Amino acid sequence: MESIKDKVAIIGMGCTKFGERWDAGLDDLAIEAAYEAYEDAGIGPNDIQACWYGSVTQPMVGIGCTHLAGPLKLHGIPMTRVENWCTTGHEALRNACFGVACGMYDMVLALGVEKLKDTGFPGLGAGRGMSPVLEARRTAPGSFGMIATRYFYAYGLSPQEGKRVIGKIAVKNHHNGTLNPKAQFGITIADWMKKRVASAEKKGKPIPTWKDEWDFLHDDRANPMIAWPLRLFDCSPITDGAAAVLLVAEEIAHNFTGSPIHIIGSGQASDYALHDRKDLTSIGAARLAGQSAYEMAGVKPDQIQLAEVHDCFTIAEIVAIEDLGFFKPGEGHRMAEEGVTALNGSRPINSSGGLKSKGHPVGASGVGQSVEIWKQMRGEAGERQVPGDLSLALTHNVGATGQTCVVHIYERRA
């Protein structure tokens, strides 16, 4: 397989605020992200030679890809919509990389945009309307609940121990999200508790008596069960948002920025439906996509210093960090408990807040992960900046219940 290593560089990024964007339509979000990327790179829409963009629900609201050519001022160039479940944004980025790596284009735009709150999209757990019903009428929370249950059993975790571990993921990612101005939930679990107490006092209702975050997270009224053992705070939200990446041929990258970020590895793989897999504690597509990306980049998992992984549910982060080879099977939960994956840990995971806190605008989620890597590797992440010299990083984006996965590896060069 041909490699994209030493062929593709990022020169600019843009990202909207993720969340319930009642103030903006699909066009507005796309413009906001794309023009932030243009400004970041010091270029204009006339410099773009091709565009790949991802959106999952766009056809459902009667809009085709040619509609965005107008708002983005991209008339007259190739523009292709990409869709592959939750990996949609990363698939757009991957295709854009190929467009540059093969020598056909010198500068392209990869864009992910999603408007979910206004479209009637009820979420992956509802199993009705636009929400995809997965595998024998099993919803996404139901499927990942099965993965969590099996993981607990396989690695000797009692239900209480297992639920505490995934709760730790929620607490960590909400903490990281408070440091990210683009995150949907910029609030810690502890502060969420305080808001609930204040609201009860104001309304004259009984005051909750939670001792700590764990009391709160195991309160059936405050944090209801969605699909055992996953509760509300184990699930990513419904989100509007957009993110954009500008890619150029590597040899011209320094014409636009003194600190480009190079994409040196890319892998994509597919897997069986959940009910046909031999092992529910791992996602085969993620393992294979990761292996392909590592091989292309010529690096090993222990060299990756920072990663954004697909935490659509808290258990998914634990499975991901094992599938990617950061930790051995069955060790991920212990690493999370010990703080190894925290912002100040030796292997920070989801410094942006992840899908759990930053938000999950499905078609834009993967590109949004790349934006976080861009900021971290350039030392522009503000309060959530991971310390040290970050030269290698990774993004991991899973679709459906693991039927597809895309992994990218990024390098910053001195």
Annotated active-site positions, please?
86, 360
Q: What is the pLDDT of residues 2-60, one digit of tens each?
A: 899 999 999 999 999 999 999 999 999 999 999 999 999 999 999 999 999 999 886 55
| Consecutive 10-residue averages of pLDDT for the chain (414 residues) | 93 98 94 97 97 82 65 93 94 98 98 87 52 58 96 97 97 98 96 95 94 94 95 96 98 97 98 92 98 98 98 98 98 98 97 98 97 98 97 96 96 93
Is the Cβ–Cβ distance between 32 and 242 less than 8 Å? Answer: yes
Q: What is the pLDDT of residues 215-237, one digit of tens each?
A: 999 999 999 999 999 999 999 99
Is the Cβ–Cβ distance between 107 and 52 less than 8 Å? Answer: no
The 10 Å Cβ neighbour count of residue 49 is 17
pLDDT of residue 148: 98
What letters, b where the CB count within 10 A reaches 16 and e where it falls short, cover 219-232?
beebbeebbebbbe
Domain borders along the chain are: 8-120+239-411
Q: Which residues contact 237 (CB under 8 A, 6 or more apart)?
A: 184, 185, 359, 360
Is the Cβ–Cβ distance between 35 and 14 less than 8 Å? Answer: yes
Terminal CA-CA length for the chain: 28
pLDDT of residue 40: 96
Distances, alpha carbon 361 to alpha carbons 55, 116, 179, 225, 356, in Å: 9, 7, 19, 23, 11
DSSP readout, 40-91? HHT--GGG--EEEEE-SSGGGGT--HHHHHTTTT-TTS-EEEE-BTBTHHHH
CATH number for region 8-120+239-411? 3.40.47.10
pLDDT of residue 122: 62
How far apart are alpha carbons 92 and 94 in whole angstroms? 5
pLDDT of residue 59: 55
332 alpha carbon, distance to own chain's centre: 19
pLDDT of residue 268: 98
pLDDT of residue 123: 62
